[in-house]
A and B are shown apart, each in its own frame.
Chain A
Amino acid sequence: MKTITNILLFVIAVVITGCYQQHDSRIHLREEVGSDSLVDNIVTRPVAYAFSALIGEGIEITQAVTKRNDAGFLELHISGHNRSYQTRRFRYRVEWLDENGLLIQTKTSVWLPTSAMGKSPFSLKAVAPRPEAVNFRMDTKKWE
């Protein structure tokens, strides 16, 4: 009897997992919008929240790409992910460097506010205001 119950539970678990459809990765369905899954549901979520806060999850930068636009200015495209469950609000400042690695003085290098919602990807874009910019450095700080 116990074996039959175990097999039944296993089959139900497999069926439920099998029924869960992986949606297009470009579309992010938040909790209470998309369907719950075995790993993300009303029971597991509080544990995941607490664990995330405990290990101090936050913003991660996954990619920083520079390209020169049609007008001849260097563009910086940053992609990142907020690993925490909380919305992270922060400020960033991009400074531009010339071919000698020297700082280009510009009024555009100021602290700009941005935010990323919990467990979500985000993107930033910055444009160098001078054609002589060839590199950059970026700093972040907490949004007070």
Chain B
Amino acid sequence: MTIHLRMNGESCALDVDPEMPLLWAIRDVLGLTGTKYGCGQALCGACTIHIDGEAVRACVTPVRRADGRSVTTIEGLSSDGSHPLQRAWVEVATPQCGYCQPGQIMAAAALLAKKPKPTDAEIDESMCGNICRCGTYVRIRAAVKKAAGL
């Protein structure tokens, strides 16, 4: 079965087992490595991507669920790092090791798309699925607010 989807704005046909998690299709088949593996069980958020604008964990999302839909990864958020969140992330110097940050940014992008001026509680609530072991959370909050113009 071939899965047809839009990947970062381009149409894409995936000839893989429809049960394969989207994470591995993105990384191993399409070669887009910005989406990270962290836990495989939707516990850490490192693999966060958007399907039709909704933040989802690619590690537990079968490829078939993306059939006919539009998938955005960190590589598709902007072509040049110009998304307000990416700019804010650099300006605040949020990352330490950086491994979780694409997932953090994708979670934040889905939040701001719905709530352009989120409260602290809304940031915490919508980002609580994204773990950062380096402990950059204070700067993650600051970067989200900066991107939101708060």
Asked if A pairs with B, the answer is no
